[in-house]
């Protein structure tokens, strides 16, 4: 058994005001393949051998029920998506996925399970706990142009269905990240995506220009849930034109695969997603945290030092599913889902609404081995279903045609 070590969050420890409530709201691992926790581990079967387009992505087409031995119509870059076949061994299931089909071969992952930014550090912190090389990809901690000390403590508190965090993008700055971590990443087989944040377009471009061409940096994940100082502090992510402008500027600054992370704190995500695709993004990740606060019951005042925090964990899963469902119908680039992923059922649900891959975040704090277990369970599930790939599972819940664009956001009213 591997030696485990404790994971410490920056800032002084504070007693949770919700003492006695469920910790993070995480559930025991589940499996639709008939297996519960303890599904036999199956190692990754060699290097990536191909990629396929998520069925239904961008077109609204559903994946039809297919007879054994046939493959679905639809592919990315002319590579057929894996179809149901008889007698598939788990080791033969190909979970590889291309997150940048516009740049063939630039970001092909061996499996569709990534770890989310801010939950896995720079990857090195978990080296003694999990085999990082078996992950699909690592999204490292948010990186800015200059070092940031972050928000005042307390920074983290548990909630009944997850956690609130207000770290404030504490990081050593892009130059230190390149110096300290990029040489290590260059020796890994797992791709590392650098999560980039900023307060202006010039900030984003400055970070990306430094990262461009650095060995070990496989791509960029753009965190646009940051205040735009040029527009009075309005987040880039909640304004279609601002989101498109920062995406286009970064696209001009680098040829690296570019993923853009959407905020759920908007009325209608669809025009923003389309604008980001048109501006040159290779893929979309959804969703970032929802804005929330917690109250210290002893003082009657906001608990977090910065008042506001980002809500993550199982509580936001339904919101994540809804947003991925909508985005997948209006864009043709891959969608990577984030939000409450902690069990195989969560992965399968996100695939059904159009995601081609998932990121695991908050669940890692309770069990760092969750991402690798999900890889094994997804492979076993596909084998049990007679599938040579997970791609036929993508988009099965999407409607035959995209729904009407939202004019007032009233379609969510119960």
Within 8 A by CB and 6+ apart from 53, the residues are 74, 75, 76, 81, 101, 391
Cβ neighbours around 387 below 10 Å, total: 21
Instruction: List, in sequence order, every residue forming a beta bridge with 277; answer none if it has no partner.
Output: none
Residue 209 and residue 243 in contact, taking contact as beta carbons nearer than 8 Å: no
Q: 310 vs 51, 293, 339, CA distance in Å?
A: 33, 8, 12
Helices (H), 262-310: 270-278
**382: annotated active-site residue:** no
Structure tokens at 83: 């179809």
Whole-number CA gyration radius for the chain: 20
Residue 333 and residue 102 in contact, taking contact as beta carbons nearer than 8 Å: yes
Give the torsion through C-alpha atoms of 30, 355, 228, 409, to 10 deg.
-90
Maximum Cα interatomic distance, the chain, rounded to a whole number of Å: 64
Q: 224 vs 80, 195, 228, 312, 407, CA distance in Å?
A: 33, 10, 9, 17, 24
By C-alpha distance, which of 393, 332, 351 is closest to 60?
Answer: 332
Q: 64 vs 5, 77, 84, 235, 393, CA distance in Å?
A: 46, 21, 12, 39, 10
By C-alpha distance, which of 348, 375, 360, 333 is closest to 63?
Answer: 348
| Active-site residue, selected from the candidate residues 139, 140, 226, 382 | 226
Query: What 8-state DSSP symbol labels residue 181?
Result: T
By C-alpha distance, which of 205, 241, 207, 247 is closest to 224?
Answer: 247
Task: Give catalytic residues, as residue numbers.
Answer: 226
């Amino acid at each position: 058994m591997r030696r485990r070590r404790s994971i410490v969050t920056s800032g002084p420890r504070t007693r949770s005001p919700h003492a006695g409530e469920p910790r993070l709201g995480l559930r025991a691992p589940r499996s639709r393949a008939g297996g519960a926790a303890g599904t036999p581990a199956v190692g990754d079967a060699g290097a990536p051998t191909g990629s396929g387009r998520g069925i239904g992505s961008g077109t609204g087409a559903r994946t039809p029920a297919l007879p054994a031995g046939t493959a679905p119509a639809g592919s990315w870059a002319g590579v057929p998506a894996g179809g149901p076949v008889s007698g598939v061994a788990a080791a033969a299931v190909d979970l590889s996925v291309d997150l940048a089909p516009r740049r063939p071969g630039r970001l092909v992952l061996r499996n569709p399970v990534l770890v989310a930014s801010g939950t896995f550090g720079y990857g090195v912190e978990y080296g003694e706990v999990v085999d990082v090389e078996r992950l699909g990809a690592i999204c490292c901690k948010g990186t800015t142009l200059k070092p940031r000390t972050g928000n005042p403590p307390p920074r983290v508190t548990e909630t009944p269905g997850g956690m609130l965090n207000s770290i404030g993008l504490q990081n050593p700055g892009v130059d230190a990240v390149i110096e300290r971590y990029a040489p290590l990443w260059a020796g890994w087989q797992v791709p590392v995506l650098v999560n980039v944040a900023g307060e202006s377009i010039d900030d984003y471009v400055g970070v990306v220009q430094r990262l461009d061409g650095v060995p070990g940096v496989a791509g960029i994940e753009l965190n646009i849930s940051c205040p735009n100082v040029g527009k009075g502090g309005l987040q880039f992510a909640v304004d279609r034109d601002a989101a498109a402008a920062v995406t286009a500027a970064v696209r001009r600054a680098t040829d690296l695969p570019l993923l853009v992370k959407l905020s759920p704190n908007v009325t209608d995500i669809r025009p923003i997603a389309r604008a980001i695709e048109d501006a040159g993004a290779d893929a979309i990740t959804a969703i970032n945290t929802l804005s929330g606060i917690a109250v210290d019951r002893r003082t009657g005042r906001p608990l977090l030092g910065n008042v506001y925090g980002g809500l993550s964990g199982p509580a936001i899963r339904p919101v994540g599913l809804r947003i991925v469902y909508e985005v997948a119908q209006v864009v043709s680039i891959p969608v990577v889902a984030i939000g409450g992923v902690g069990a195989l059922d969560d992965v399968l649900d996100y695939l059904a609404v159009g995601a081609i891959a998932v990121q695991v975040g908050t669940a890692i704090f309770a069990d760092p081995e969750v991402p690798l277990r999900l890889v094994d369970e997804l492979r076993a599930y596909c084998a049990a279903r007679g599938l040579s790939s997970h791609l036929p599972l993508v988009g099965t819940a999407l409607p035959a045609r995209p729904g009407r664009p939202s004019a007032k956001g009233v379609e969510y009213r119960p």
